[in-house]
Copies of this chain bind each other. A is one copy, B any other.
Amino acid sequence: MSSDSTFPTVLRQLLRTHQAFLSYAARHVHRLELTLPQYDVIITLGKTAGMQPKKLGEETLITKGTLTGVVSRLEDKGLVERSASKKDGRSQIIRLTEAGRAVYEQTFPEHLAHIGRLFDDYAPEEISKLEADLQRLHQAVITARGDHIEQVDDEF
C-alpha cells in the first residue's frame, strides 16, 4: 500500500460533502412536496420522451427495487405514467404526464440555478478537474471491486 493513513479522512470528507450536498438540494426540492429521488426522476425524464425503468435507474443511480416504489408514488401524484413497451413484453416505458412536464418546465431552471450557486467561486477548469479527480477515485473503486469478486474470501 503506497498511501499513508490519510485516506480515511478523504473518504470521510467524501461522505460529508455528499451528505451536505444532498441536504442542500433536498431542502429546495421539498418545497414542491417531492423527495429528492422523485425530483431526480422528473428531471431525468424531462430531457426525454420517456424511457425504460432500467435506463432510468442507471441515470438516477436508483436501484431497481427502489425505483419501482419511487415511480409508483409519482404515478399516484399524477406526474408520471407507465405504459407497456410494444417491442419487449417485459419492458415498460415511463413518461412524464402533462402535469409532470409542467412541474419540470416550471422548476428546473430555478433548480439548476440553485445548484449552480454552489459553484459561484469556481472556474470552469476547476470544476472539470474535480470531476476528473472523482472519476479517478470512482474507477479505483470499480477496479478494486472487480478484483475482489474473483478473490477467495479469506479476509477477516
With contact pairs A121-B2, A123-B2 given, residues A7 and B141 touching in the complex (Cβ less than 8 Å): no
Residues in B with CB closer than 8 Å to A28 are: 148, 155-156
With contact pairs A18-B18, A110-B155 given, residues A118 and B141 touching in the complex (Cβ less than 8 Å): yes
| Count of chain copies | 2
How far, in Å, is A14 (CB) from chain B's closest CB? 6
- Once the chains are docked, how many angstroms separate the CA of A156 from the CA of B122? 25
Main secondary structure of the interface of A (DSSP, over half): helix
A residues with CB within 8 A of B: 1-4, 6-21, 23-24, 27-28, 31-32, 61, 106-107, 110, 112-124, 127-131, 133-135, 137-138, 140-142, 144-145, 148, 153, 155-156
- Once the chains are docked, how many angstroms separate the CA of A135 from the CA of B31? 28
- Once the chains are docked, how many angstroms separate the CA of A28 from the CA of B154? 11
